[in-house]
Amino acid sequence: MSQIYGSILEAIGNTPMVRLNNVTKGSKHQFFAKVEYFNPGGSIKDRVAVAMIEEAEKRGQLKPGGTIVEATSGNTGVGLALAAAVKGYKCIFVMPEKMSDEKRAILRAYGAKVVITPMVMPEDPMSHYSVSKKIADETPGAFLVNQFHNPDNPERHYRTTGPEIWKQMDGKVDMIVGGAGTGGTLSGIARYMKEMNPQVKAICTDPIGSILYDLFYHKKIVDPPGSYKVEGVGEDMLPDNVHLDIYDGFVRVSDPEAFAMTRRLVAEEGLLVGPSSALALVGAMKAAEQLEKPSNIVVIFPDSGRAYLSKAFNDKWMSENEFLTDADVKNAFNRVVSAEEALADLKKQ
């Protein structure tokens, strides 16, 4: 049988499950990472981007030559742009200004127009939600993807990511852990897992500053939404795709915890992932403390650290944000030095 993909879109999914060996040392539990940066666009969002386009085509909402419009923090945009390139659509993406330069650059590289919005509340007419809606309303042939509320998003995880995890783990999963941005990932995977085994627990990891934790435990916002540096997870509103009723618990994680773990994952496991992956792992380790018997815990790692070279992997940015101290930066082994300095260091040894 030929092993050729019909297009790059067929290379989406079937990502590896990798055992974590070092960063979780000392725990009686086993932790496994579903490493989603293996998708061709570099993140888990390739899966749902293609799903939402294909379903819109079937319903006649997106026609040949049409324009795809979306409010996206970057990763969904890459997946949509990838599909748009293969299928011949134009893309306009609207993203909040806090998102990294790499994310803007990559969307442009795929040929998309990128619209940057200020950090304001969702109901504000300048928010990325409001601006994307206006652009879609007023652009002929436009399809607003609406990933936060579009049911094709969790459905694709229910149909692909969930079954892949079940098969890779041979059904031996006790807890599944991930963050929620749109909620599609965790909602879809949790629904599948619980159908296979109702005992599987689904835990959502939330950055401090997101309102989802309060909505789950208190049914209302107790702490007002705050700012945080981890990208792609946490919310200042409740998306329809966050299915709070099927989650078993929430764990809060701070920026310093997430950024420290981002550095450790590459240094100790060889996994160059983004801060939302690290945040999910820190949350998983906290949630695991509540489990009495040794358990198998699957953590979703949504994207690659390559999108954060100017942030999580930039010492200046990390120390400006107090995630690294000056001493950490000065004493780091992984510095770029001139040949003269390297040779002078040899003499000091």
CB 86, min distance to ligand PMP, A: 21
* Interaction between residue 283 and ligand PMP (CB under 6 A): no
Record the tokens describing residue 246, joined without a space.
Answer: 């099927």
* Interaction between residue 303 and ligand PMP (CB under 6 A): yes
Residue 262: half-sphere exposure toward Cβ, Cα within 13 Å = 32
Q: Which is nearer to ligand PMP, 246 or 291 (CB)?
A: 246
CB 235, min distance to ligand PMP, A: 9
Give the chain's length: 349
Q: Which is nearer to ligand PMP, 24 or 205 (CB)?
A: 205
Annotated active-site residue 45? The verdict is: yes
The rounded distance, in Å, linking the Cα atoms of 94 and 72 is: 6
Near ligand PMP by CB under 6 A: residue from 185, 205, 210, 295:
185
CB 195, min distance to ligand PMP, A: 19
Q: Which is nearer to ligand PMP, 66 or 235 (CB)?
A: 235
Record the tokens describing residue 100, joined without a space.
Answer: 């990294």
Record the tokens describing residue 98, joined without a space.
Answer: 């806090």
CB 182, min distance to ligand PMP, A: 3
The SS3 assignment for 94 reads strand
* CA dihedral sign of residues 123, 125, 127, 132: positive
The rounded distance, in Å, linking the Cα atoms of 14 and 23 is: 25
* Interaction between residue 302 and ligand PMP (CB under 6 A): yes
- Look up tokens 């990472």; give the residue: 33
* CA dihedral sign of residues 284, 100, 108, 59: positive
Query: E strands along 82-154, which residues?
Result: 90-96, 113-117, 142-144
Near ligand PMP by CB under 6 A: residue from 73, 130, 150, 205:
73
- The crossing angle, in degrees rounded to 10, of helices 75-87 and 45-59 is 50
Q: Which is nearer to ligand PMP, 67 or 205 (CB)?
A: 205
* Interaction between residue 274 and ligand PMP (CB under 6 A): yes
* Interaction between residue 207 and ligand PMP (CB under 6 A): no
* CA dihedral sign of residues 164, 269, 304, 96: positive
Beta carbons within 8 Å of 15's beta carbon, 6+ residues apart:
34, 35, 36, 38, 39, 164
Near ligand PMP by CB under 6 A: residue from 77, 184, 234, 283:
184
* Interaction between residue 46 and ligand PMP (CB under 6 A): no
Q: Answer whether 52's CB lies under 8 Å from 79's CB.
A: no
Q: Which of 28, 34, 45, 348 is catalytic?
A: 45
Binding mask 125-164 for ligand PMP (x = CB under 6 A): ----------------------------------------
* Interaction between residue 34 and ligand PMP (CB under 6 A): no
* Interaction between residue 231 and ligand PMP (CB under 6 A): yes
- Phi (first) and psi of residue 201, to 5 degrees: -95, 140
* Interaction between residue 205 and ligand PMP (CB under 6 A): no
Near ligand PMP by CB under 6 A: residue from 232, 234, 283, 305:
232
Please give the residue ranges that form the binding site for ligand PMP (CB under 6 A).
Answer: 45, 73, 75, 179-185, 231-233, 274, 276, 302-303
**Active site members:** 45
